Amino acid sequence: MRMPRRSLLLLALAGPAALAAGAAQTTAELRDLLIEGHTPVRLEAATVDRGCGPAGCTIDTDGVSILRDRGALKQTGGKAIPIRLLSSGRAPDLDWEPLDVFRVFGERGYWGTCLEFSHAGIGKSGAWQRWTSIVLVPRNPPQPRSRAWRIVGYRTGCDALITHPDKPDTLSLPVVEVTTVDSRKTPFGLQIVWHHCNARNCTTEIDPRPVRGDPRGADGVLTMDGPP
């Protein structure tokens, strides 16, 4: 069902039950509003193995190794995987213990790995907990140089990934991002950004729908227009 073209209160989309459910319900409603009308990817929870040795602690999952103590990624038993930040502004430091890891399947089958990370330091405090980093590691088709894409978004997760309507090898992730580089400034500017990624590169596209609200507020309620 198409959303009406009007301002929608994210916490109120599902009525009183949504208000009672709190932040988790808000995350789901934000995701559903952003991807309405699109086809979600298929996610499969990845097996995660943890171990520690003389070189530090490692988390192995879906062919990717998270070097937790060094703050880096590499192919399991292979080369380093550089991470490119796609979001604007200065990103907070990652907490290298992932919240979730998924195997991602698009229109052409297995696409790669999606990791969800919270943030270290102030990123674990108060309203800053509402921001998440998504790290995408495309794995199929194999490329001469593996790489990863990092996207920082407001109350987002791997379940917001969709298949690109025109490019079967590309996945898209719409997120709410900050437009002001200095997050202490008022107003706290927000915009919707679409990130379109495949195994070779990522492109971005600004969604014209306005986003209103203060993500630092007590409840973090945002409003935005539904799709045209």
pLDDT per residue as tens, the chain (228 positions): 333 332 233 322 222 222 222 222 467 888 888 888 899 999 999 999 999 888 788 999 999 999 999 999 999 888 999 999 998 767 889 999 999 999 999 999 999 999 999 999 877 777 788 899 999 999 988 877 789 999 999 999 999 999 998 999 999 999 999 886 555 555 568 899 999 999 999 999 999 888 888 888 788 888 777 654
DSSP 150: E
Q: What's at 36, amino acid-wise?
A: E
pLDDT at 23: 29
pLDDT at 14: 28
- Please, where are the H alpha helices in 69-143? none
pLDDT at 169: 93
Spell 91-107 as b/e; 16+ CB within 10 A means b. bbebbbebebbbbbbbe
pTM of the model: 0.84
User: What is the β-pairing status of strands 202-207 and 190-197?
Assistant: antiparallel
pLDDT at 179: 80
Task: Please state the domain extents for the chain.
Answer: 27-225
Conformational region of residue 187, where left means phi above 0, alpha means psi within -120 to 50, and beta covers everything else:
beta
pLDDT at 113: 97
pLDDT at 182: 53
For the chain, how many residues are written? 228
Instruction: Tell me which residue of 41, 63, 31 sits closest to 176, measured CA to CA.
Output: 31
Strand partners, 176: 192
pLDDT at 3: 34
The label of the residue with tokens 């696409």 reads 111
